[in-house]
Structure 1
């Protein structure tokens, strides 16, 4: 295998996907000053790296400023990010706030610190964005993060809610963007190896990773391994919503549904079984082919293979 060729393909794919997400949702426009939140993890490093590549070739002119929040966690290597950013020659700001001590003081021993830590961090970053004159705040969440959030909200929050690629901040002052929305995590892992980012461990605070998110992440990775294309289709589904075929009365006026006597393109085929792609089906434990799906009699059970 030609490693250089594969790395070049990966770079092109990352730039294409990030550029497409930016264009689809108008994340970055001419004259924007984009604050890139840099944590020291692979995702935020890749976000900054790809945005810098796009900045050199994009028709729109925009500025980038990298921002890291040093929360005074014990063992945090405070010199790593400044040295890295100086080497890039990009404007940056390191905000030092001892939120670690606040969280340790307020949260009981043994309880997860992530929720309070996240709220404190968010408020500080909003303030920094305002002080720096940033028009957009860019976060490093990728495709898998978005789908994990969707499933977590379904399983544990009873909501059909994900992680949008672009939104207004909760204080109403900022536009938050996620340019990696179309990018698979496995590609970011590979890119971090190619670029040899100086990764800073994410477990310095001593908190364990959310078990539920880890389980959902493992589920998505297993699906991606066993059923290529399934995870990608899940992301496409978030862009192809049919409110009349869900159950939210706020999104669709079910009470007003009446027979019209005219064909309806989105009408429900009430007595038909839902069609599934052959790749998602099995017959007697074996992978179903298109011929199986077309010819299988009603007596033969076509069941999801997992």
Structure 2
């Protein structure tokens, strides 16, 4: 590689880092994810997304308008062959506080889920419960997860196709028992950018051999569908995500979300300006003189 190529690669890498940092900073600001004095427990799985999240949070911490702490936490689920030395060594190289939490969820999942069935649902519930309780134990006020925009949009379609529900993963979530708050600082970031960023930063990626090896997961089918859409019409995934931030309850069909039952008309209200010319009736069999309570304006 020539010196010119090196300069170009460095320029592109810096540009990508700034873009990701800006998107994370905007998401944090838009949803008030991190506040003065917060202790943020960054859940690090060993995948590209959580590595990038930790990287950017540590970068933002140096210049953020509020003071907050970041503690890296990895949940070692005791998957066979999991390289236990990689993450402690990586955290030590960053000189940051960290915990490795041992929880044999692997054995539980293998015991409860029949061979060939999807393990992700049970695995995620066990992982979430462990992280929630550990956050309380160490005094963490926020739990940061590495989900990005593509994850959120995929979840939206998974819930629609297989759960008949219009919901996704919010950038900020309070647990059902109100005891924890989950934040997703990468919500505005695209996966393709994170993949490139991970290559540049050379993170010590650890694949998930428990869930990731299940190639026929419905999420992978949804991902392929969205990638095809996005390749055919660039920006489609971004637009779908933006629709989650621009919801019109009256244009949906949830009677618990909008009162469709009680919708009286009120013609005393000022008339909206309609975008059409005055109509002309060419034929009718109605004698308008017989119509009562009709006001012509």
TM-score, normalising length: structure 1: 0.83
Which shows bigger deviation, 250-259 or 145-154?
A: 250-259
Which of 241, 258, 263 aligns to 2:264? It is: 258
Name the residue aligned to 1:46.
52
Alignment pair present for 1:192 and 2:195: no
1:268 CA drift (Å): 12
Any stretches of 5+ residues in structure 1 without a counterpart?
Answer: 270-306
1:106 CA drift (Å): 2.7
Residue 59 of structure 1 aligns to a residue whose secondary structure is coil
Alignment pair present for 1:180 and 2:186: yes
Label 1:210 to 1:172 Cα distance change in 2 as closer, same or farther (>3 A).
farther
Label 1:110 to 1:198 Cα distance change in 2 as closer, same or farther (>3 A).
same
1:143 CA drift (Å): 0.2
Residue 140 of structure 1 aligns to a residue whose secondary structure is coil
1:207 CA drift (Å): 4.9
Using the alignment, how far apart are the partners of 1:6 and 1:263 within structure 2? Answer: 54
1:80 CA drift (Å): 0.3
Residue deviations 1:217-274 (CA, integer Å, cap 9, x gap): 1111122211112211111111111111111111111222233333358x999xxxxx
Name the residue aligned to 2:247.
241
Name the residue aligned to 1:213.
219
Which of 159, 165, 173 aligns to 2:171? It is: 165
Using the alignment, how far apart are the partners of 2:45 and 2:188 within structure 1? Answer: 20
Name the residue aligned to 2:156.
150
Residue deviations 1:34-80 (CA, integer Å, cap 9, x gap): 00000000000000000011001101100000000111110000000
Count of residue pairs the alignment pairs up: 268
What aligned pairs does 1:126-145 form with structure 2 within 5 A after superposition? 126-145=132-151
1:74 touches 1:205 (CA, 8 Å); kept in 2?
no
Using the alignment, how far apart are the partners of 1:259 and 1:241 within structure 2? Answer: 23
1:112 CA drift (Å): 2.6
Any stretches of 5+ residues in structure 2 without a counterpart?
Answer: 277-297
Using the alignment, how far apart are the partners of 2:251 and 2:146 within structure 1? Answer: 32
Name the residue aligned to 2:90.
84
TM-score, normalising length: structure 2: 0.85
Name the residue aligned to 1:284.
none
Using the alignment, how far apart are the partners of 2:45 and 2:80 within structure 1? Answer: 15
Label 1:124 to 1:24 Cα distance change in 2 as closer, same or farther (>3 A).
same
Which shows bigger deviation, 100-109 or 187-196?
A: 100-109
Residue deviations 1:126-148 (CA, integer Å, cap 9, x gap): 12111110000000000000000
RMSD over aligned CA atoms reads: 1.9
Name the residue aligned to 1:17.
23
Residue 167 of structure 1 aligns to a residue whose secondary structure is strand
Label 1:47 to 1:210 Cα distance change in 2 as closer, same or farther (>3 A).
farther
Using the alignment, how far apart are the partners of 2:115 and 2:235 within structure 1? Answer: 43
